[in-house]
Structure 1
Amino acid sequence: MDELPVVVVGAGPVGLAAAAELAERGLPALVLERGPRAGAAVAEWNHVRLFSSWSELVGPAAGRLLAATGWQRPDPAAYPTGQDWVARYLEPLAAALGERVRFGAEVVGVARRGRDRVVDHGRDTEPLTVHVRRAGGGEELTTARAVVDASGTWPEPNPLGGDGLPAPGEKAAADRIAYRIPNLADAAVRARYAGKHVVVAGSGHSALTALVALSGVAGQTSWILRRGAVGNTFGGGEADQLPARGALGLRARDAVAAGLVRVVTGFRTETVSRDDEGRLVLTSPQGHRVDGVDEVVAVTGFRPDLSWLSELRLDLDATLQAPVALAPLIDPNVHSCGTVYPHGVKELAHPEPNVFLAGMKSYGRAPTFLARTGYEQVRSIAAALAGDHEAAERVELPPAETGVCGGAGLFDEPEGGASAGGCCGAPAEPRLISLSPPR
């Protein structure tokens, strides 16, 4: 099987970095991307500026491959938008990889050749078969020695509903609910939110970005949090080792302190309905309501699509849907992303030989994934596939600390529970929060 390619699913930042790592080690690689271009998912949020600088966003082997083509490395201290990342790095990288990258090729299934998941015999000797649907129609099989699934989670946003399923009425209100950060530079999009009562749901960096953007556009911004207290939602501020990430949290905190954002904590959306004027009403299981809502921006995270991996033997955590060895390190009930030590092939391996989930998909439902984490993952995987086990176990790209304690789940604890453990805690019933303006 050594002559067969390693198939990488997804031509995003981590998938292309994986191909560069494999190419540098002389291993045949084939990247299959269902979109029409490199970084197709990134291009959908091209208006958002990353909080990682260029120094964090170029994969090591990818940078070396590009340098050989005469590529000019962007200013390492600058912060690109998604559009910049695609145009100045991902598309040149895909071009440098050449025929190793195929677009319009959607992977719809992966299996062990001639075996479904029930059959034991031959799972360590037979290659993998990758079922591909072409954009122009038709299907084909590609045989692989290994598969690295770096397809991400972008196509699968979490719903507004607080129990993980769309709330009753949520689908019917789809014309008023967005699951991505709105591009307010677009005149039509800006008009949709200008002067309106906009609800932002979520506690991650996407929610903070939306709050900062909308605070100067919307007539009223309400921020609903499922957790019982704001706690460390604003991040570590100046203690964050990614300064732009810390600054984002400080800007969101200032928007709240200035009265531009109304915060409702301990609120989980159970139903979505419309009032007599056609505006939305969000209701919690306790009967609390957020009324008179014109638009909702639900940025509550993402989840992996595992349906096309059903014939593989994956060892996934029951809670996060992440590899079981990785899940305890990234569980948002306990950790910030700064507590995750670098990890690679050891934590990402499955009972199915030579199958790996990498990049954002490896985190399952856990949030706060950094590009450099993915680059370290695929460097380790490529080293292991090349037989360089010493390099596979070596740490080369440690993650940046967030400067916060604990995790989101701690703030669902009743008063005294989380605070007793050393972090901020508060009652879980809905509360309106007001902060004093900064002096």
Structure 2
Amino acid sequence: MMLGPRSLRWRLVAVVLLIHAVMVLALVALLERESRLFAEEQVQRRARTLEVELRAALAAPIVARDYVTLDEITRELVAVAEVVYLRVEDVDGRELAHATRLNPTDAAPATVRHFTVALGDARIQLGLDTARASLAWHEFARVAVIWVTLAATAATLLILSAANRLARRIERLSQAAEAWTRGQWQVQAPARADGDELHRLGRTFNAMAREIAERIQTLERARQETAAALEAVQQERARMVALLEAMGTGVLLVDRADRVVYLNEALRRMWMIDPQAPVIGERASDLLARSGGRLAQPDHFSRLVLHVPGTQEVSDSTELTMSDGRIIVQACRPVRDGDERLLGRLWLYEDVTQERRNAEQLIYLAERDGLTGLYNRRRFEEALERALLDASRRQSRCALMLFDLDEFKHLNDHFGHRAGDALLVRVANELSTVVRRNEVLARLGGR
């Protein structure tokens, strides 16, 4: 529980004490001022009363010039009243009677107020002692201050008690909020259905805490589901990367800005890209242009490599003949999301050099004689048919010459098939040197 100068409880105590101290000081100052005013008013009122009494008591002796009676009345007034001194003078200032309670050598106290009353040709001077009136009023003021202080103290204690209860309730709300910050959502703030504003605030806090707890649980479930989905995606990506790395086809994936997102090792080998070179995020055209792979015709690079003709989304297969004799087939496929929005392109590169060589070898073997390398009977028949059709279309002629080797069987029987094969090869070589480009030389016999 916070009890320092920054706590609400301490501030409430300080404010209440300050307010009551100001109130008490203001009340004391007010009572002091009122006491002076009241004492002055009492003195003035007493002076007016004495004036009436003096006129009634002294008028007759003064008119009769009975100075003995005048002196007796003067002494009686000074002896029984708050009159300190009383002096009666005639119009010329001669003393007619005088009585005082002061020593002749002492000065009049500060509490004595001096008055002069005119009575016919005489003049009465008197001094009134205001000490008794002031003392009575000061006693009243002192008692009033005591009671006010006691009342203020009682009120202060009541206010402090109420403030302390209020601070404790606020402290419990604060403790509940602190518990919620630690994830202890089961903690409830004090709240009653028929309570005051703090109880309504507590109910609101509790409802908010329940809502936050439910949302946190929802977010935690979503986080777990997201983590599981991310793990599945990462596993799927790992499997996909392993598959792409194991493929012999070069794979290049770019985004809509033609920047590299992924490429596999097969593509690096085909284009002779440095395995340590950072390529992700680089423009694909710049990457391939700087690679070790070169086209047989470099000026065709921009027209062939990474080029989708017109507005086509899928490019036809393009054969790229490299400077080292390799043949690479290039193809492109668009990559779209579930809403058919274009995310990028997938470029596929396949090295078909060996396949082309194998195909050419198969064609060669299919139409050539295995021993001499000359065209075989099937290829001869196709060539003869084309020549006849061409001659017929042009209304021209074509020539056909057949020849055989005499005594060839005898050579095979006496010197063996190896000698016969050597002879056939030699004859084929010699004849091949004199055959023109538009002529066909074939071996019709043999295996």
TM-score per shorter chain, which class?
under 0.3
More helix by share: 2
Q: Whose relative contact order is higher, 1 or 2, with alpha carbons under 8 Å and at least 6 apart?
A: 1
User: TM-score, length-normalised on structure 2?
Assistant: 0.17
User: TM-score, length-normalised on structure 1?
Assistant: 0.17
Q: Which one has the largest radius of gyration?
A: 2
